[in-house]
């Protein structure tokens, strides 16, 4: 932990945060309720399987379009469920076998190699604030400060950008982990090609509406919006504001399954996603005392694309 950039600097903040919330409330927020996790997971699986069927049923009606958009967000949401597994926020006890299985399945659904995402994400937590050691910031954040380049992240170009970033980070991983990542990635590709091929066999137009548009066009938009609410608008000189304070409405909580509460998640990574909204309410006095500004997704889109905000800086920097 001595070389973890964030935790070297977060001692005072962590002590302040622990004082901001009563002990009993803190214990309740950290308590895992597997039934709540699996209720959300089952809903997302039902949507993942049911929405393509609905797209097929509506035929030539334009109703397929909003359903296709929703399907793209559902595919993205499985990365949030994978994220819960990584932080051991599913079960009341450490169940390595089941967690590994769940992570693999959630990774398949979202197009991610679970082993790569776990290492990448935990490095991100440990090295938050470092422009070099945080892999998400060092490899994935836009290096060209141009609107057209930022927009590429909302298109299918996101995939080569992400996989290049992941490969650069993975070059320094142990060989056994690299082999595990390659196996998982190949299995993900095989599953997704099989789904696309099956849809195309049913009807090529159906394949476009139920796979190509949700995965290659909607998923990048969902990914970019979600990422805008993480660390792109921050106060670099205040470790308490190294993540963005969001005030999502119920629609965003549904689409992103509570992953918009990213600041709260970095404060207390072991709090499950279905309790992050309650955690934010508990921290509201702390935010008010610190003067931490909050944002909506519409504001972040305005700053990011219209005002061409520079990532990982304060507004107006």
Whole-angstrom distance, CA of residue 224 vs CA of residue 142:
11
Of 26-30, 274-278, 283-287, 312-316, the least confident = 312-316
Domain-wise residue ranges, the chain = 5-306
Please answer whether residues 309 and 233 qualify as being in contact, where contact means their C-beta atoms are separated by less than 8 angstroms: yes
Six-digit token string for 220: 């990048």
Which pTM does this prediction carry? 0.95
250-269 pLDDT, tens digit per residue, is 999 999 999 999 999 999 99
pLDDT at 60: 86
Give the residue-averaged pLDDT of 204-231.
Answer: 98
Please answer whether residues 114 and 104 qualify as being in contact, where contact means their C-beta atoms are separated by less than 8 angstroms: yes
Give the residue-averaged pLDDT of 124-139.
Answer: 96
Residue 150 has pLDDT above 60, yes or no: yes
Q: How confident is the model at residue 274 (pLDDT cuts 50, 70, 90)?
A: very high
Residue 1 has pLDDT above 70, yes or no: no
Residues near 3 by Cβ (< 8 Å), separated by ≥ 6? none
Residue 287 has pLDDT above 90, yes or no: yes
pLDDT at 52: 98
Residue 2 has pLDDT above 60, yes or no: no
Residue 316 has pLDDT above 90, yes or no: no
Give the residue-averaged pLDDT of 8-14.
Answer: 94
pLDDT at 73: 99
Of 165, 155, 213, 215, nearest to 188 by C-alpha is 215
Please answer whether residues 169 and 177 qualify as being in contact, where contact means their C-beta atoms are separated by less than 8 angstroms: no
- Average pLDDT across the chain, whole number: 96
pLDDT at 59: 86
């Amino acid at each position: 932990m001595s070389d973890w950039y964030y935790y070297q600097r977060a001692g005072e903040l962590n002590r302040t945060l622990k004082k901001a919330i009563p002990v009993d409330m803190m214990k309740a927020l950290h308590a895992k309720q597997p039934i709540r996790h699996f209720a959300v997971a089952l809903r997302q699986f039902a949507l993942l399987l049911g929405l393509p069927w609905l797209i097929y049923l509506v035929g030539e009606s334009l109703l397929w379009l909003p359903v296709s958009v929703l399907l793209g967000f559902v595919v993205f949401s499985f990365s949030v469920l994978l994220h819960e597994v990584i932080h051991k926020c599913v079960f009341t006890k450490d169940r390595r076998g089941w967690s590994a299985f769940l992570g693999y399945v959630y990774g398949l659904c979202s197009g991610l190699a679970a082993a790569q995402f776990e290492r990448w994400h935990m490095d991100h937590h440990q090295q938050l604030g470092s422009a070099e050691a945080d892999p998400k910031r060092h490899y994935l954040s836009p290096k060209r400060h141009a609107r057209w380049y930022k927009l590429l992240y909302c298109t299918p170009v996101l995939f080569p950008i992400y996989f290049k970033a992941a490969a650069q980070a993975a070059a320094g991983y142990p060989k056994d982990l690299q082999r595990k990542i390659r196996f998982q990635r190949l299995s993900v590709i095989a599953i997704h090609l099989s789904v696309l091929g099956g849809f195309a066999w049913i009807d090529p137009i159906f394949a476009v509406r139920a796979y190509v548009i949700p995965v290659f066009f909607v998923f990048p938009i969902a990914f970019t919006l979600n990422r805008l609410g993480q660390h792109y608008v921050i106060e670099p000189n205040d470790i308490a504001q190294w993540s963005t304070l969001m005030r999502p409405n119920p629609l965003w909580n549904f689409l992103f399954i509570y992953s918009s509460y990213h600041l709260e998640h970095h404060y207390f990574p072991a709090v499950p996603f279905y309790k992050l909204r309650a955690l934010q309410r508990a921290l509201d006095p702390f935010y008010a005392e610190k003067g931490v500004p909050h944002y909506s997704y519409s504001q972040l889109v305005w700053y990011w694309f219209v005002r061409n905000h520079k990532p990982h800086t304060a507004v107006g920097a």
